[in-house]
């Protein structure tokens, strides 16, 4: 049965239209939608009072807060008692007032927030184990070491020179690629394949050095191909070796095919130079529609230029039009905030701009900037990963069927709107990752790269090797010189021109194997023979090595994450050492395993299986773990919340009506699953927007009925946007249980910010008891205790630990603030006893309620004053 949110019965729920107009005011005057989602409302006093009663350390001094509710900087002319806070107190301050994390991000010499005070990061500058650390990574412009004391104009000039500085960087030459055998001696059995792979990489690097002047110059293809403007006019170049004749047409020449005929060189590159008009104006006005018409083996064909920087869909039209995008200097967006420093640990908020509104519309870059980025910051994430940036004519492809690789999606705004979004994220201390698609391309011929020059081999493999039958898309030929130039230049374009801070490379498994990792062809078991053989596409792996070399060489702080489900060895080892060079592997197996477990009763879960699933990763290769991503939110699948609570979510999430056993179980396990995934799963963590509070229902893009060639009809949804949005208002509503789930996710993110446990070198799993259903592990200074038992709670339960002294609760999934039952005393202190237990030198006793996760941290003793 299909349920609709319209069927939710919330007697006390106000509608968005009934909100007080004072909270509907927009952040900026350029908002295109005249409403604000519910999350901008102030928290109710009842919530704040509840949080106050549940403070983790009620005996500690309270936070120093200005009259406006913002945390004041220690060391100023106000009370500086907050400087001596324990990390757990700082965490509670954030939980009581999540707005504090937004306020903190505004800290600067000239406050951008209403009021005169300066503000401090709500984490208090604490790092792993509560030690003070450099918090510059989260500081906006005026507090960054590199720009301290500079004026806004000087900062803008510094940022504008970044491209010039990147040009001067030298990408290190290839190493010998032999360290992989020291890291993993089993690889010596496959040295023939691996040495051949590295040899191909070296040969390609040498050829690029010889013929193109190196990777740095080679990756600036966008300065040679497509439209390039000079003082005297515009040059247009296009690689189309299959074409027999080509001409540039568009609004600027009234679409006259005889006006601007192009010439071809021996490499298949077509070119034309258009001089400026007599009055000095450019020959192609900004905003003009343009196409290239070619006489090809398939006949006459009008195509959008392959290197086009912007493309739009005209009203009533199906194919897109290429747009010459070159606004006047005074209209171009100027970046004002430098990139934040690369964080030690990644806490990624995966987002889709188009569906990020609470309303059934396609949202804009501007609205996402104003509404969603502050939410991400407040929740405690330090990175936002944005999907569907590259232009894609089919909205329901989720951005993965790219038609125009250098153009940002026009559905959400202009290129300058996107730049403004990224600049705002940097101001908030958020790094911005782009979900980049180099694994395949749209099958479209009218507005994509397919059959660009009338042949099926331009950019792609010809024949069946160039077609992905499951995705209905084209596959790149990574062994072709111009394809390598195109894709490497594309990666650099987004980093250089738009200031993205890195990439999540989509579909890498499909790239690395000729069978594309499809289960119908192969199932990866971990046997090394599956990775190094004839099924491996060496050209594709070498391209990935080049891409990582380029990105890390020119942008040392940039981050690359590869979506690989196969477990390819050497994937996250530096290229110099013989690896593929990614910083992180996306740990996709975890989400699949959680779905597998959720199909069973939790009474049948095995604690050993859970631990193995989360810790089964390669040594020295970092992973980004997640319990669910956008994949699980799509129609046809279920989110974790839906697996756990199903249709009860529609009737029993309101606080003014009794809960049900299914809801209580679902909320408890939802919190535990996410915390244990973050705690054990990797060195980074990812969440898809809305899943932090258990977003109900699935994502269903607007679509009409589709008639297949065999006559069957795939029913659509009447082109509805109702389920293609994110109901953030549910997570913000004081009267719904979603709020507690969101509060817990926020507490989880801020806990990691304070203690840095994901990147701690210390990790020890001391207990995975199948009878008790208990898992205990240490990560960093913290001790995590998970009781998955559905009925049994344990008093005076002994758990092992490393550090001596006393501990206290710093996060408790059973806290009433998180829709728990309040069975844990947060004021209690836990003293260690000497003696080995669970292979740990010490232990202490705790209360472990059923279906509850509790995190304990050591308390640092205060020094006694010395008499004298």
CA 415 to chain centre: 20
* DSSP code string of 60-124: SPPP-B-TTSPBBPTTSSS--GGGG--HHHHHHHHHH-THHHHHHHT-SSS--SSSS--B--TTT
Of 842, 802, 810, 804, whose CA–CA distance to 826 is shortest? 810
| Interatomic CA distance for residues 387 and 223, integer angstroms | 26
The sign of the CA dihedral 839, 845, 846, 847 is positive
Please check whether residue 699 is in contact with residue 660, taking contact to mean a CB–CB distance below 8 angstroms.
Answer: no
Catalytic member of 506, 577, 778, 815 = 506
A 10 A CB-CB count for 658 gives 8
| Interatomic CA distance for residues 610 and 211, integer angstroms | 52
3-state secondary structure of 853: strand
3-state secondary structure of 515: coil
List Cα–Cα distances, 570 to 176, 576, 756, in angstroms: 15, 11, 26
A 10 A CB-CB count for 838 gives 16
Region of 814 please: left (phi>0), alpha (psi -120 to 50) or beta: alpha
Q: Which residues, in sequence order, are CB contacts of 222 under 8 Å at separation 6+? A: 307, 406, 489, 493
Q: Is 646 a catalytic residue?
A: no
CA 620 to chain centre: 22
Catalytic member of 144, 350, 427, 563 = 563
The sign of the CA dihedral 323, 327, 333, 338 is positive
Of 663, 652, 608, 676, whose CA–CA distance to 852 is shortest? 676
Find the helix packing angle between 588-598 and 607-615, rounded to 10°: 160
| Interatomic CA distance for residues 668 and 257, integer angstroms | 66
Exposed/middle/buried for residue 175 (C-beta within 10 Å: 0-12, 13-18, 19+): middle
Of 754, 749, 747, whose CA–CA distance to 125 is shortest? 754
| Interatomic CA distance for residues 116 and 151, integer angstroms | 19
Residue 672, both tokens: 């535990």
Q: What angle do CA 661, 663, 664 make, to 5 degrees?
A: 65
Please check whether residue 418 is in contact with residue 498, taking contact to mean a CB–CB distance below 8 angstroms.
Answer: yes
Q: Is 563 a catalytic residue?
A: yes
Q: What angle do CA 376, 412, 391 make, to 5 degrees?
A: 110
Region of 631 please: left (phi>0), alpha (psi -120 to 50) or beta: alpha
Of 575, 577, 573, 572, whose CA–CA distance to 587 is shortest? 572
Residue 285, both tokens: 């006005």
3-state secondary structure of 582: coil
Please check whether residue 429 is in contact with residue 139, taking contact to mean a CB–CB distance below 8 angstroms.
Answer: yes
Residue 284, both tokens: 């192609």
Please check whether residue 819 is in contact with residue 827, taking contact to mean a CB–CB distance below 8 angstroms.
Answer: no
**685 φ, ψ to 5°?**
-140, 145
What single DSSP character describes residue 635? B
Please check whether residue 528 is in contact with residue 479, taking contact to mean a CB–CB distance below 8 angstroms.
Answer: no
A 10 A CB-CB count for 251 gives 15
Q: What angle do CA 251, 296, 262 make, to 5 degrees?
A: 50
| Interatomic CA distance for residues 619 and 111, integer angstroms | 45
**855 φ, ψ to 5°?**
-115, 130
Active-site annotation, residues:
506, 563
């Amino acid at each position: 049965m299909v349920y609709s949110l319209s069927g939710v019965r919330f007697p006390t729920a106000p509608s968005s239209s009934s909100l007080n107009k004072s909270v509907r005011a927009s952040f900026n005057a350029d908002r295109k939608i005249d409403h604000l989602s519910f999350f901008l409302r102030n928290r109710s006093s009842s919530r704040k009072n509840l949080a106050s009663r549940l403070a983790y350390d009620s005996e500690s001094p309270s936070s120093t807060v200005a009259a406006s509710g913002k945390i004041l900087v220690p060391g100023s002319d106000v009370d500086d008692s907050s400087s001596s806070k324990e990390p757990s107190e700082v965490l509670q301050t954030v939980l009581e007032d999540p707005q504090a994390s937004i306020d903190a991000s505004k800290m600067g010499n000239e406050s951008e927030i209403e009021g005169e005070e300066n503000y401090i990061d709500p984490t208090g500058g604490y790092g792993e184990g509560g030690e003070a650390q450099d918090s510059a990574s989260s500081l906006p412009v005026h507090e960054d070491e590199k720009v301290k004391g500079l004026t806004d104009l000087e900062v803008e000039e510094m940022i504008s020179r970044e491209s010039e500085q990147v040009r001067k960087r030298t990408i290190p030459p290839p190493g010998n690629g032999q360290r992989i055998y020291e890291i993993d001696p089993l690889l010596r059995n496959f040295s023939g394949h691996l040495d051949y792979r590295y040899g191909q990489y070296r040969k390609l690097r040498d050829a690029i050095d010889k013929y193109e002047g190196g990777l740095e110059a080679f990756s600036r293809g966008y300065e040679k191909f497509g439209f390039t403007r000079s003082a005297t006019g515009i040059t247009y170049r296009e690689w189309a070796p299959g074409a027999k004749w080509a001409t540039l047409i568009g609004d600027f020449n009234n679409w006259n095919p005889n006006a601007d005929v192009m010439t071809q060189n021996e490499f298949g590159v077509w070119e034309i130079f258009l001089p400026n008009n007599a009055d000095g104006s450019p020959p192609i006005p900004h905003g003009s529609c343009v196409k290239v018409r070619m006489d090809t083996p398939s006949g006459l064909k009008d195509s959008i230029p392959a290197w086009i920087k912007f493309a739009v869909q005209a009203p009533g039209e199906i194919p897109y039009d290429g747009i010459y995008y070159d606004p006047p200097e005074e209209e171009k967006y100027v970046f004002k905030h430098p990139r934040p420093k690369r964080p030690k640990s990644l806490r990624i908020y995966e987002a889709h701009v188009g569906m990020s509104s609470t309303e059934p519309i396609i949202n804009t870059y501007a609205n996402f900037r104003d509404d969603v980025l502050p939410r991400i910051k407040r929740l405690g994430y330090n990175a936002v990963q944005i999907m569907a940036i590259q232009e894609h004519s089919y909205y329901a492809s989720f951005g993965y069927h790219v038609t125009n690789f250098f153009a940002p999606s026009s559905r959400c705004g202009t290129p300058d709107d996107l730049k403004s979004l990224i600049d705002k994220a940097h101001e908030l201390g958020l790094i911005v990752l782009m979900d980049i698609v180099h694994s395949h391309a749209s099958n479209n011929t009218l507005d994509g790269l397919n059959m660009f020059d009338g042949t099926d081999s331009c950019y792609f493999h010809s024949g069946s090797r160039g077609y992905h039958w499951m995705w209905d898309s084209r596959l790149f030929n990574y062994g072709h010189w111009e394809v390598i130039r195109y894709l490497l230049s594309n990666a650099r374009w987004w980093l250089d021109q738009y200031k993205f801070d890195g990439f999540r490379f989509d579909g890498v498994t499909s790239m690395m194997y000729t069978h594309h990792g499809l289960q119908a062809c192969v199932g990866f078991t971990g046997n090394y023979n599956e990775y190094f053989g004839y099924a491996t596409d060496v050209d594709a792996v070498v391209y990935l090595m080049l891409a990582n070399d380029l990105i890390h060489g020119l942008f040392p702080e940039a981050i690359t994450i590869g979506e690989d489900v196969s477990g390819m060895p050497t994937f996250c080892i530096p290229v110099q050492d013989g690896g593929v060079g990614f910083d992180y592997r996306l740990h996709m197996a975890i989400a699949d395993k959680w779905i597998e477990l959720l199909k069973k009763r939790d009474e049948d879960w095995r604690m050993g299986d859970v631990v193995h699933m989360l810790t089964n990763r390669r040594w020295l290769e970092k992973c980004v773990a997640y319990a669910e991503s956008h994949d699980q939110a799509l129609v046809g699948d279920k989110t974790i919340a839906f697996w756990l609570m199903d249709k009860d979510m529609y009737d029993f999430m309101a606080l003014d009506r009794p809960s049900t056993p299914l809801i209580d179980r679902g909320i408890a396990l939802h919190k535990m699953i996410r915390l244990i995934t973050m705690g054990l799963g990797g060195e980074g963590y990812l969440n898809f927007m809305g899943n932090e509070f258990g977003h109900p229902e699935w994502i269903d893009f607007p679509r009409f009925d589709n008639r297949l060639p065999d006559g069957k009809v795939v029913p659509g949804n009447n082109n509805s946007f109702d389920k293609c949005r994110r109901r953030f208002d549910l997570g913000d509503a004081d009267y719904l249980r979603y709020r507690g789930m969101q509060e817990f996710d926020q507490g989880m993110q801020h806990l990691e910010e304070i203690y840095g446990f994901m990147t701690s070198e210390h990790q020890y799993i001391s207990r995975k008891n199948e009878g008790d259903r208990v898992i205990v592990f240490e990560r960093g200074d913290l001790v995590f205790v998970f009781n998955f038992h559905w009925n049994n709670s344990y008093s005076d339960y002994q758990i092992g630990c490393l550090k001596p002294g006393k501990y206290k609760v710093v996060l408790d999934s059973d806290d009433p603030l998180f829709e728990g039952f309040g069975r844990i005393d947060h004021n209690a202190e836990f003293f260690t006893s000497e003696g080995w237990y669970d292979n740990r030198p010490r232990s202490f006793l705790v209360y472990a309620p059923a279906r509850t996760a509790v995190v304990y941290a050591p308390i640092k003793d205060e020094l006694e004053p010395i008499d004298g």
